[in-house]
């Protein structure tokens, strides 16, 4: 029983030993290697005495899919004339989407003002804060609100982090290049 107290309710990091395989078999969030059961992710250990397995309960919830109105952080992977594709791995509350999901930003959801070219709003590699508009895939997202939009962008010329130089303007501190975006009010702060 003393040994059980050492095994359970312990905060662990990926790779930390939990016990040996003769004590418990690896369950969700753990794995065994060379007879030692180790944590696969950050969490708190728990044991199931019936099945003699140990688990690591994740610290954050792991929702598999986003919900409408979730505010999420993603990276732009494709920009076309009418739409852009954003790969999303987490929301602002710290929930992670295990395999990530794809959000589609239509040009009509890109800005409050008329946009004639999506390349003046976002570019591949930008980090954006966006809101999910629906509950089922394909997920549509918006960046129209003032707090939504690009939160981090890199210079197309030299790759440096761009600095805010106006309401929707960025400037490279290294080479001086100016680039336009639809910026979040939180640009540089996420
Ligand atoms: Zn530059």
Cα torsion angle, 104, 110, 114, 116, sign? negative
Q: How far is the CA of 171 from the centre of ligand 1 (A)?
A: 8
pLDDT tens digits for range 93-127: 877 777 788 999 999 999 988 888 899 899 999 99
Residues in a beta bridge with 160: none
Neighbours of ion ligand 1 (CB under 5 A): 155, 157-158, 160, 172, 174-175, 177
Q: Residue 23: which residues within 8 A CB-CB, separation 6 or more?
A: 3, 7, 37
Q: How far is the CA of 112 from the centre of ligand 1 (A)?
A: 28
Two domains, one topology: 2-58 and 71-180: yes
| Residue boundaries of the structural domains of the chain | 2-58, 71-180
Q: What would be the CATH architecture of the domain defined by 2-58?
A: Beta Barrel (2.40)
Q: Which residue ranges in the chain fall short of pLDDT 70?
A: 1, 60-64
Q: What would be the CATH architecture of the domain defined by 71-180?
A: Beta Barrel (2.40)
Measure the CA–CA gap between 65 and 25, rounded to whole angstroms.
29
**pLDDT at res. 63:** 61
Q: Say if residues 102 and 162 touch (Cβ distance below 8 Å).
A: no
């Amino acid at each position: 029983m003393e040994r059980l107290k050492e095994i359970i309710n312990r905060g662990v990091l990926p790779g930390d030993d939990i016990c040996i395989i003769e004590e418990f078999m690896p369950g969700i969030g753990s794995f065994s290697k060379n007879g030692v059961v180790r944590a696969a992710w950050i969490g708190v250990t728990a044991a199931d005495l019936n099945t003699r397995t140990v688990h690591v309960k994740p610290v954050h919830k792991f929702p598999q899919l986003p919900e409408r109105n979730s505010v999420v952080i993603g990276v732009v992977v494709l920009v076309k004339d009418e739409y852009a594709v954003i790969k999303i791995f987490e929301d602002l509350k710290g929930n992670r989407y295990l395999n990530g999901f794809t959000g589609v930003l239509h040009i009509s959801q890109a800005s409050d003002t008329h946009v004639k070219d999506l390349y003046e709003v976002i570019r591949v590699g930008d980090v954006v804060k966006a809101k999910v508009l629906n509950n089922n895939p394909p997920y549509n997202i918006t960046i129209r609100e003032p707090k939504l939009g690009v939160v981090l962008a890199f210079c197309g010329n030299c790759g440096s982090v761009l600095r805010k130089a106006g309401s929707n303007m960025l400037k490279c501190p290294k080479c001086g290049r100016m680039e336009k975006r639809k910026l979040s009010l939180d640009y540089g702060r996420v």
